[in-house]
Chain A
Amino acid sequence: MRASSRFKSVFLEQMLMGFQLSGFPCRTMSLPARMHAIKLSADVAMAVARGSRRWTHGLIAHLSKKEDKSFLKCILGKQYERLTMPCYSSWKIQRCKTILRRSFRERFGKQKPAQACTLARSLVKTRAQVLKRLVPGGKAMDGYSLLDETMDYVVCLQAQVDLMRHLLGAFEASKLRAQTKGTSSQGRKSIKDETDGNKKDLIELCMHLSDNA
């Protein structure tokens, strides 16, 4: 199952916009800060490109809890308030469940799970909890929707990794070309060549996207 090419193109577009907005090629920024900015813009781009799913809302909410709210505001514009509004209903459900669970546990005490089925169930339960921690917004999901969102999230993550890898390749190729051209010719011409090189790389990137899709 692969993501659609439309998703990929929107994703790429958004990501580059995010790069631009973050004042990305800033040498004054340290490497971790740049990495953080890139990751942030990539995540936001993925969430925006995917549309309205539970994990996207969870992801944006999670991202907005950290710092860089201004950056997010820039990217999302008007939707920032709408998207970062916490979803009270789902949290209420989660809270009720934990309260109920605790009360049941106190009431009935511990029962010896001597059976294999209960053991298997507890194994699955622990893994489900781990998965809930991994998938953004997973804490408020029940089993079935958790699997659903995980599937979607995996597809989008794979597309994200794909895109970033190709982007990296394009940038590296352009940089290499610039370096070789820089040694050979100098002045304004080299800048123009670099631009053309970038364009060529991105054209190849888009071709690759269309081929894959």
Chain B
Amino acid sequence: MEPRGSSGVGSGNSGTYTPEIAESLRFEEEIQSLIDPSFDASSAAGGSFTALLGLPANQAVELLHHPGPGEPPASAATDTLRLPFGCSSTFVERAARFSVFATDDSPASSSGGGLSPGLKAEPPDSDSPPTLPAPAGKPRRPSKRKECEKSKAKAVAKKSKSAEENTSAAKPAAEENTSGDKLPYVHVRARRGQATDSHSLAERARREKINARMKLLQELVPGCSKITGTALVLDEIINHVQSLQRQVEFLSMKLAAVNPRIDFSGLDHILSAECGPLAVASGCGGGASDPAMWASDTAASTGGIRRMPAPPQIWHLDVVHPQQSSTVWENNGVAHPHFLLSPATSLVGYDPASSVPLNSNRLKTEL
């Protein structure tokens, strides 16, 4: 591995390069950056000849003659090559000799367009967000990277968009898209061989959103994770939904067949007593759904209050008297003795005459 910080300013890239060596250099550097978050890849980029040779010829020569600020910038990567040490002529010559290892493994640089070493510096950028703004002179090119490195590439602002302060923030948004909120800007990096105008970018962002959703759906539906291809996955999803709907119908038929006579009032009391604390526990854990939690809690308690008769008086919804159910329900409310189910009931202003609207009010807040 080349010495850290050894920067030889080489001449610009001349045609041939051995891709394997370049690849290995890149990977070494990136692995290093992953291991050590404070890895200053600018120095290592300086150390890798590829970075140097990524510069176009004239700029490299310029750097040759004017070693520049010499010390590295305060933070990590910049776009221009910052030499950690003052470059000595020996380094320069050695670098020039090794110019055969020219550039960019990032294939973007065709002949003239040297990729800025900012590219090399970018993997560590994801770890240490750059604070230096891009130097004005260096045009930011649409970055094109190999697909294998795209995962490590952070979202970098393209030349039409804003600067790179948003990189670390925008990267999760660009790549994961699982959060429901939308950022005003989606910073993405164009892949190799893809168009970079705004339309295709937007379309690609949309496609990635859809792909993220498809992945989630694949995880949800059993047996779908091995399937590749949108159409087949959609097939599975459709089958799953249809089977669930059929199961609901079948279960409702069985429920209809099973019980001609159920003591619902007792059931509801037990339910509210059991599921009220349950709702409270889970609701407190949720936190965000406070009104809904309260609503459900009070719904449960009001339901329990409404239907629970006095303990000694057990009510049966008898088969023979179907009309009685509704009347009994109201009678329950009127003749209802006062009791406390849980502390939550004290929140409820229980009004027997308006028991129904009360419940629906609670439901309304929930919805």
Contacts and interface: CB of A to CB of B under 8 A. Distances in A.
Are A and B interaction partners? yes
Interface of A: 1, 4-6, 9-10, 12-13, 16-17, 19-21, 23-28, 31, 34-35, 37-39, 42, 48, 51-52, 76-79, 83, 120, 123-124, 127-128, 130-131, 134-135, 143-144, 147-148, 150-151, 153-155, 157-158, 160-161, 164-165, 167-168, 171-172, 174-175, 191-192, 194-195, 198-199, 202-203, 206-207, 209-210, 213
B234 interface: yes
Contacts of B300: 9-10, 13
Nearest to B266: A195
A25 B260 contact: yes
Contacts of B217: 147, 150-151, 154
A6 B279 contact: yes
Contact of A168 (B251, B261, B314): B251
Q: Is the interface of A mostly helix, strand, loop or mixed?
A: helix
Contacts of B39: none
Contact of B319 (A27, A124, A127, A209): A27
B255 A171 contact: yes
27 contacts: A4-B282, A6-B292, A23-B325, A25-B318, A26-B322, A31-B257, A42-B248, A42-B252, A51-B367, A77-B356, A83-B367, A120-B230, A124-B234, A128-B234, A150-B217, A150-B237, A157-B245, A161-B248, A168-B255, A171-B255, A172-B258, A174-B262, A191-B316, A199-B266, A199-B267, A202-B270, A207-B274
B263 interface: yes
A171 B231 contact: no
Range for the number of chain B residues in contact with chain A = 35 or more
Contacts of B317: 20, 24-25
A213 B282 contact: yes
Contacts of B320: 27
Given A9-B296, A77-B360, A164 B252 contact: yes
A35 B357 CA distance: 28
Given A6-B296, A9-B300, A171-B255, A79 B271 contact: no
A19 B263 CA distance: 11
Nearest to A5: B282
B324 to A, nearest CB: 9
Contacts of B255: 35, 38, 164, 167-168, 171
Interface stretch (B90-98, B104-112, B141-149, B205-213): B205-213
Interface string B259-298: 1111110111011101100110011001001001100100
Nearest to A57: B367
Contacts of A153: 241
A51 to B, nearest CB: 6
B242 interface: yes
